[in-house]
């Protein structure tokens, strides 16, 4: 086992079957983490508690659960979890995604090779039903300079793939509430601090996008929330007014087109199919 913490948040609407698949993919790693920190973001279902209890009993000392009295959202849940991780290296994982068996092995090797590295991600393969039916691949830039340039318009990391140094996260202020953009807001603050970034040129995570994901990313209410979050990113000073304006105009157009067309845009234009 490696001195590595896996940070996850779980809430009441998640499906136990998806969580089981996620956990099993972590147990199948060629190099396993010695700690999972699971933030229970508010009360869960009986079925979910049973699943967590079973994995905890079957793998003593591996899973640390942080139950919260009420749901506070992903940003707050992760903010609570980061300081509780006992290792300096932390891997993020969404509990409905599936990690490739060699994910941790490849990422840990890069950190060993480059001691100055602070945050490391990869591409993702996106699926809707089963991980063997890939519908799109979200590619991200690979080098530090390209990631930081790309971040001015779009996220330079796929958040569910990142492994990072705890100190670099805490120095940037940890996760903070920024609905829809908790990760984006953190990346730009880290980059302003001068962190060293990298992405591996492989898809190390199968990301479950769900058939209704594109529907959730539409409508004027969604756009208003997106615009508010993007303004917080702009206020960090990392992006220019023109960057902000361009992103908002594109998002306005994408949010207001019909759902089927929005799905095509994401799969064929924004993500490479």
Tell me which of 160 and 130 has the higher pLDDT.
160
- Nearest C-alpha neighbor of 118 from the set 185, 166, 181, 176: 166
Arithmetic mean of pLDDT, 92-103 = 96
Helix or strand (DSSP H, E) at 198: strand 197-208
Helical H segments across 59-121, by residue range: 74-84, 103-113
Strands, DSSP E only, in 146-268?
A: 163-165, 197-208
Q: Which residue has the tokens 């849940």?
A: 77
Arithmetic mean of pLDDT, 96-121 = 97
Write down the pLDDT at residue 273: 38
Beta-carbon count within 10 A of 161 CB: 29
Indicate if the pLDDT at residue 221 is higher than 90.
no
Average pLDDT, the chain: 90
Contacts of 188 (CB under 8 A, 6+ apart): 151, 233, 236, 238, 239
Q: CA 253, CA 244: separation in Å to the nearest integer?
A: 15
Indicate if the pLDDT at residue 98 is higher than 80.
yes
Segment 46-70, tens digit of pLDDT: 999 999 999 999 999 999 999 999 9
Q: How far apart are the first and last CA of the chain?
A: 35
Instruction: Report the share of the chain in percent with pLDDT over 90.
Output: 75
Indicate if the pLDDT at residue 236 is higher than 60.
yes
Which of the residue ranges 46-55, 144-153, 201-210, 251-260 would you say has the lowest mean pLDDT?
251-260
Write down the pLDDT at residue 105: 98
Which of the residue ranges 89-93, 149-153, 217-221 would you say has the lowest mean pLDDT?
217-221
Arithmetic mean of pLDDT, 124-130 = 88
What's the pTM value of the predicted model, to 2 decimals?
A: 0.90
Instruction: Report the share of the chain in percent with pLDDT over 70.
Output: 90
């Amino acid at each position: 086992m490696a001195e590595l913490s896996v940070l996850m948040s779980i809430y009441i609407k998640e499906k136990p079957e998806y969580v089981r698949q996620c956990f099993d993919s972590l147990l199948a790693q060629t190099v396993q983490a010695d700690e999972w920190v699971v933030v229970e973001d508010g009360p869960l279902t009986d079925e979910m508690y049973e699943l967590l209890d079973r994995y905890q009993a079957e793998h003593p000392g591996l899973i640390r659960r942080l139950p919260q009295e009420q749901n506070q959202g992903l940003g707050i849940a992760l903010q609570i979890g980061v300081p509780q991780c006992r290792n300096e290296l932390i891997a993020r994982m969404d509990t409905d995604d599936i990690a490739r068996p060699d994910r941790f092995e490849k990422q840990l090797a890069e950190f060993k090779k480059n001691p100055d590295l602070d945050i490391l991600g990869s591409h993702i393969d996106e699926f809707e039903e089963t991980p063997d039916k890939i519908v799109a691949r979200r590619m991200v830039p690979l080098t530090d300079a390209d990631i930081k340039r790309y971040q001015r318009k779009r996220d330079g990391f796929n958040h569910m793939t990142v492994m990072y140094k705890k100190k670099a996260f805490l120095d940037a202020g940890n996760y903070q509430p920024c609905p829809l953009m908790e990760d984006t807001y953190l990346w730009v603050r880290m980059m302003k601090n001068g962190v060293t970034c990298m992405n591996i040129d492989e898809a190390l995570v199968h990301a479950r996008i769900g058939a209704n994901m594109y529907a959730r990313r539409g409508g004027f209410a969604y756009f208003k929330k997106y615009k508010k979050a993007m303004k917080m990113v702009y206020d960090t000073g990392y992006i220019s007014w023109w960057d902000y304006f361009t992103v908002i105009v594109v998002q306005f157009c994408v949010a207001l087109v019909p759902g089927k067309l929005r799905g095509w845009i994401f799969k064929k234009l924004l993500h490479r199919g």
